[in-house]
Structure 1
Amino acid sequence: MLSLTQVPSPARTARIAVSALFFSAGLCFSSWASRIPAIQQKLQLSEAGLGMVLLSLPMGLMLSLPVSGFVVARYGSRRTVVIACLLYAFLLPFLGVVSFVWQLVMVLFLFGFAGNLLNISMNTQAVNVEDEYGRSIMASFHGVWSVAGFSGAAIGMLMLSFSASPFLHFCIITALVWSIVFVAYKYLQVKDIHSGSNTPVFAKPDSTLLKLGLIAFCCMVCEGTMFDWSGIYFIKEVQAPQSLTTLGYVAFMTTMAGGRFAGDWLSVKLGKKNMIRISGLLIAGGLMLAVALPYIVPATIGFLITGMGVSSVVPLVYSAAGRSGKIASGVALAAVSTIGYLGFLFGPPAIGLIAQALSLRWSFTLIAFLGLGTTLLAGFSRIEK
């Protein structure tokens, strides 16, 4: 294992460059999210109408998954990540200038497609850098993405205070991201690991990748539920006052971001498999605390614990998938992402159906058991200790 002083200087530089790409990706997405209400008002969309329109983004994401794996394996992650990041940022201003619903649907589809191409290629770059380091650093890259989420939300609030239009706001973000890409490009890893001529570009995911995908599925159901339902849980079950309805979401996001920066150090100390096992227990324990004691203080503590549990699972799974060596890294990441994103996309709607039939507390109880599934699946998976 390499110490920090033993890490080659090009690897450290590459880590900064890849981190900059993760920041750019998070900044683009959070900038779009911060202006959704303004775009909804401009197009006079109802909540139901907006929900249907927003489905076009995950549809583009899902359809891009097999394409992304092939493109990264065929052309390399360095070339792909640059084109994808430039395209992702380029599409952003079009979201701010749309005048009709069909235009928003079309651009969101392309935005989701480009976003996932960026996701697979930059995670492949992250796997390359991690291989150079010889130790776990994947979680810190995802932590940078989370920090970018906070930054994008803050910039969005600033733009609103100056009454800047979404188009102007997005143009500024695009210019910033393009500048980052042009600086970072030459420091990226040229060659992907497991990309030799003997590594197949197309192959059926084996049981190892399937189990990793199921771990990601369980975790991303939990993550998606917290994104979409934490505020509603605080309103309906915790019955928090209006000023505290977002407290649970903020608590979850804070520990999820912070946990990603601590996750690499902890995974080295505890081992990746043990880290995922503990994370599943934290997810289950945090959610059950919020279910058993639906009051402001214990529910907030529960969401804080859940955020810690969620924080490192997906980065560790991506790291294990990208380093599997049986198929090209980009293809392995795309395979695991496909299974994982199914949980992220379809989990929250399922929670709504269960909540309508029973209650939101029963829904969160089910999610707690899925969190526990992360622990159980890790025990049967081939993840380096």
Structure 2
Amino acid sequence: MTDTITAIKPSVTRKTLRIAVGVLFFMAGLCFSSWASRIATIQQTMGLTDAALGAVLFSLPVGLMLSLPFSGWIITKIGSKKLLLGAILVYGICLISLGLAQNTFQLIICLVCFGFSSNAVNIAVNTQAVAAEGMYDKPIMASFHGLWSLAGFTGAGIGTVMIANRIDPFHHFILVLVILAIGVAIASRYLHNDAGALKNKEAASVSLREKLRLMVPLLTLGSIAFCSMICEGAMFDWSVIYFKKVVAAPIALQGAGFTAFMLTMAGGRFIADWFAHRFGLKRTLQVSGSLTASGLLVAIIFPYFYTAMAGFLLVGAGVSSVVPMVYSAAGRSKTMSAGVALAAVSTIGFIGFLVGPPVIGFIAGLATLRASFAFIAVMGISVVVLSTRAKL
């Protein structure tokens, strides 16, 4: 990490850089959660059925996937600072466009752009986080992701207030953009300017064969992210349904499992750095996978309200640290720039996030929802196995 540290301006201390990066993680989370909080409103306004909404929402991951090769390339040309500042402002503008969409076609186009800018922000802000972590003698990556999760609760709260006061999504999103612009204006002065360092490091790999060889160590990290993000994506999309159909929870409590999962996922990210510093990356990933698998097995074997709640709490704690730890390890790559390494690992991981929910539905259709959740438990076990065999 020496090259990263020396490239940072002397006037930018590690504390100011950490705060600046934390602010932008929070802004990115606020932007996404603001959209998520108004999906039901936009569905009702446009008169979309659940099936139609599901098809429309697929535009978001399409934009994310389209962005992956572009973000990996552009970050080596202009650096993560310029990419982050530009992408996060575009992210906010795309959020407003979602509030302006008048028909399904416009909404799909806006969602593709929203997803595209979202992933550019994700790669750039995690590259900045790697630079900040390089100035410390301990892991701090998970705390940044904890701020993203905290912003999710904040965005959901603001959305609830907006809905209660009958404020339309467009004006709601304008307020979010103003907050985002203020945060960007304050934080932009203290970010790490890595354009030259990234370009020089990437230039060291000249041949395609060499580049492919250098990607091999990242495959294990990507595979770990893949398994964990299958779990995460499935919990996002199926936890409420599990509580409704398997646990048979009352209507008012059907979202309790998802809330429990989100609480421990957010909280776990604020202690994951301490745990990783004390016990190491390998042990952290092993414990994370074990918690995920154990929590799911508890919810499957004992499908009752309180036991399922306890199981979902364990799952949230399990998945909380995997992606931050894997991103941190990828960003410390000694063979390629942090931006390119993060783009490669996030590509593999995000495929898991995309395929997880449909696979769960497929297994549930062939067997039962409990059987599909057993498949997620296997993914948790896979995290343990992969991290045990990996050279971390």
TM normalised by structure 2 equals 0.94
What SS does the corresponding residue of 1:76 show, helix, strand or coil? Answer: helix
Q: 1:243: how far off? A: 1.3
Equivalent residue number for residue 72 of structure 1: 75
The letter of the residue matching 2:337 is A
Say whether 1:355 aligns with 2:358: no
Conserved in 2, the CA contact under 8 Å of 1:73 and 1:329? no
Rounded to whole Å, the distance in 1 between the matches of 2:70 and 2:100 is 28
Equivalent residue number for residue 331 of structure 2: 322
Equivalent residue number for residue 4 of structure 1: none
Rounded to whole Å, the distance in 2 between the matches of 1:199 and 1:170 is 38
Rounded to whole Å, the distance in 2 between the matches of 1:335 and 1:193 is 21
TM normalised by structure 1 equals 0.95
Once superposed, what is the RMSD of the aligned Cα atoms? 1.5
Q: 1:191: how far off? A: 2.2
Rounded to whole Å, the distance in 2 between the matches of 1:193 and 1:116 is 22
Q: Aligned ranges for residues 200-219 of structure 1 at < 5 Å?
A: 200=203, 203-204=211-212, 206-219=215-228
Rounded to whole Å, the distance in 2 between the matches of 1:196 and 1:92 is 31
Q: Aligned ranges for residues 300-319 of structure 1 at < 5 Å?
A: 300-319=309-328
Equivalent residue number for residue 295 of structure 1: 304
Q: Aligned ranges for residues 222-241 of structure 1 at < 5 Å?
A: 222-241=231-250
Q: Which of 371, 375, 389 is equivalent to 1:366?
A: 375
Equivalent residue number for residue 285 of structure 1: 294
Equivalent residue number for residue 3 of structure 2: none
Q: Aligned ranges for residues 174-185 of structure 1 at < 5 Å?
A: 174-185=177-188
Say whether 1:141 aligns with 2:150: no
Q: 1:194: how far off? A: 6.2
Rounded to whole Å, the distance in 2 between the matches of 1:241 and 1:343 is 31
Residue deviations 1:302-349, cap 9 Å, x none? Answer: 000011100000000000001012111111000000000001011101
Equivalent residue number for residue 49 of structure 1: 52
Q: Which of 141, 154, 157 is equivalent to 1:151?
A: 154
Give the gaps of 5 or more residues in structure 2: 1-10
Conserved in 2, the CA contact under 8 Å of 1:285 and 1:368? yes
Equivalent residue number for residue 245 of structure 1: 254
The letter of the residue matching 2:272 is G
The letter of the residue matching 1:94 is S
Q: 1:193: how far off? A: 9.7
Conserved in 2, the CA contact under 8 Å of 1:18 and 1:126? yes
Rounded to whole Å, the distance in 2 between the matches of 1:88 and 1:160 is 22
Q: 1:190: how far off? A: 1.3
Equivalent residue number for residue 28 of structure 1: 31
Say whether 1:127 aligns with 2:130: yes
Rounded to whole Å, the distance in 2 between the matches of 1:192 and 1:226 is 37
Number of positions where the alignment pairs a residue of Structure 1 with one of Structure 2: 377
Q: 1:196: how far off? A: 5.5
Q: 1:90: how far off? A: 1.1
Q: 1:72: how far off? A: 1.0
Equivalent residue number for residue 257 of structure 1: 266
Q: 1:177: how far off? A: 0.2
Say whether 1:187 aligns with 2:190: yes
Conserved in 1, the CA contact under 8 Å of 2:225 and 2:323? yes
Residue deviations 1:208-246, cap 9 Å, x none? Answer: 100000000000000001100000000111011111101
